[in-house]
Amino acid sequence: MKVITFDIETANWMSDTGSNDPADLTIALVAVHDSETGQYSSYLVDELSALWSILERTDILVGYNSNHFDIPLLNKYYPGDLSRIKSLDIMAEVHATLGRRLKLDALAEGTLGTKKIANGSLSVQWWRAGEVEKVREYCLKDVEITRRILDYALEHNALKYKELGATKEVKLDASKWLAGTGSAMTYTMGF
């Protein structure tokens, strides 16, 4: 099964658009991890056409807040409909069990003993300052954290998170997260 773990960094923020719709934002870059190759890669907004064939050949897209944020935004650029590809939004899974949202950083610290290297607003500042490599490094690191959190959840049916200095655990039924087949797409492959 081909799993693509992904994340998006934007060139602007909601306050810049006057909208709460993620699709009104502008993509700076997208980073992915391909489970078949074990490789990480990233794509600037003007390189997204190279990403489509990767996404179209995946069985499942995995992200963090991806169903609400990343997929609707990326769909604005994609010539088809990415929502037709099976997706797993780890934040939505945690929310469904815990009853509230957790930041990726809280799960990274509790589950992996690591922290994110920045945040979205700092990424936008870097982008505006022309520090593309900092944005790329940050996005790739978030993809790595998300992929490692996925692996942990699949193995332990739980994730840990830090809250007010304490480590807590949320039990999850991850047994069906990767079950079933995805929806292969062919919108940009020429057949």
Q: Which residues contact 130 (CB under 8 A, 6 or more apart)?
A: none
Answer for the pair 142, 7: CB distance below 8 angstroms, yes or no: yes
Q: Is the pLDDT of residue 28 over 50?
A: yes
pLDDT for 179: 85
pLDDT digits (tens, 9 = 90+) for 42-76: 999 999 999 999 999 999 999 999 999 999 999 99
Token pair of 54, please?
């990767």
**Letter for the amino acid at 4?**
I
pLDDT digits (tens, 9 = 90+) for 69-111: 999 999 999 999 998 999 999 999 999 999 999 999 999 999 9
Token pair of 40, please?
């990480």
**All domains of the chain in start order, with CATH:** 3-174 (3.30.420.10)
Q: What is the pTM of this model?
A: 0.92
**Letter for the amino acid at 129?**
A
pLDDT digits (tens, 9 = 90+) for 125-147: 999 999 999 999 999 999 999 99
